Amino acid sequence: MFLKKYAFSAACAAVLVSAYALAPLAQACTRFVYHGADNEIITARSMDWKSDIGTNLWIFPRGMQRSGEAGPHSIRWTSKYGSVIASGYDISTTDGMNEAGLVANALWLVESTYPAYDGTTPGLSIAAWAQYVLDNFASVQEAVDTLAEQPFTLVTDKVPGEDRLATLHLSLSDASGDSAIIEYIDGRQVIHHSRTYQVMTNSPIFEQQLALNSYWQQIGGLVMLPGTNRASDRFARASFYVNAIPKTGTSTDALASAFSVIRNVSVPYGIVTPDQPNISSTRWRTVADQKNKLYFFESALAPNVFWVDMKTLDLSESTGQVKKLSLGPDQSHIYAGLVNDQFKETKPFKFLGL
C-alpha cells in the first residue's frame, strides 16, 4: 500500500539509485537559507571535517588591498564591504557575512574540476573565492552578474597537509533571501540562481541533488525522511525542515528554529563511517542573521553559542582594523554571548596561492 501510494517514475528511480551508487565520497557540510516573517532571513551552515581545520574568526574592514594570489597576473581589488569571516587554516575564507548581509559559504564538492590556468589571465586562488564575493558585492544578483562574466580563472591547490586538491563549490545568499550556488563541473562554471535554492550539501552535483530531493518531496517529510549522514539525506532533511519550521514569531524564535535545523543535519562528534572515511564529524556551525547583522558561532567542543554584532563594528576604511578572535585547537576556547570586544588587532593572513 505504501509503495503504491508513493511510487515514483522509473526515471526518478534511476536517478536516485545511480546518484547514490556513483556519488564519490565527500566531506559532509550542509547549508540552508531560512525565509521568515518580517524580512527575517537566516543562513546556517555546518563545517564537517576529519581533523582540526584551524578555524578562527576575523574582522576585515573596507578598503583592504587584495590579491588573488595566483601569480603575477592575479586579479586585484579593494574591498568595498567589511566582513566577519571564519577561516580555514588561517589561509582561506570558508564562511562569512559582509556588512550588507551577503553570506558566502564554501563547501566540499569532490566532483569539482577547474579550468586549466596558464598564468596569463587574471587568476583567483580558491582560498580567496568566498572573500572576493564578500568584499565586492551587496547582493546575490550583483555577484551573479559579475561572476557570469568570468572576471578571473579560479585556481585550486592542495589542501594543507594532504595530497589532494581542494574541490569546493560556493553558496551565496543575501538579506532579501535570494540564493545562488556556483560550481565548476568539467572545467566550466555553472551558476544555479533562484530564491528557491535554499539548501546545499556535497555530492552529487547540485542538479542531481535537486532530482534526489524531488523524490522525498513526493513522500513528504511527515511520513518519512532519510536519516543517515550522507549528503543527499542531509539535503532532504534540511529542505523539509527549513520550510516546516514556523515563519512567525520573534527573531529569537527564528534563530532558535534555524539552530535546531542545522543541528539536526549535523554529524555527531566522533562519528566515523567505516566504509565512508570522508564523511566526517561536525566541528562547528555558523548562523548568520542577515536582517539584524548578527553572526553566530557554535563549536562542537565548547558549551556556548557566541556572536558578533556587525552593526557596532568599526568597518570603515579610515579607522577600521583587521582583528582576530582566536578559537584555539579544535575551536575549543570558550566564549559566550557578544564577543565584539574580545577580538584582537592582528596582521591579516595571506591566502594560500601559487
Residue from 29, 84, 267, 294 carrying the catalytic annotation: 29
List of E strands, the chain = 30-35, 41-48, 57-60, 65-67, 76-78, 83-88, 92-98, 103-108, 123-125, 153-155, 168-173, 179-185, 188-193, 199-200, 282-289, 294-299, 305-309, 323-325, 337-338, 344-345
Cell numbers at 42, concatenated = 537566516
Helix (H, G, I), strand (E, B) or coil at 237: helix
Q: What is the pLDDT, as a whole number, of residue 158?
A: 84
**pLDDT category, 273, cuts 50, 70, 90?**
low
pLDDT tens-digit series, residues 202-232 = 888 989 888 877 766 666 666 668 778 888 8
Neighbours of 275 (CB within 10 A): 6
Arithmetic mean of pLDDT over the chain: 88
pLDDT tens-digit series, residues 155-198 = 998 888 788 889 999 999 999 999 999 999 999 999 999 999 99
Annotation says 12 is catalytic: no
- Does the reported pTM lie above 0.85? yes
Neighbours of 238 (CB within 10 A): 24
HSE-CB at 4 with a 13 A cutoff on CA atoms is 1
Q: What is the pLDDT, as a whole number, of residue 306?
A: 98
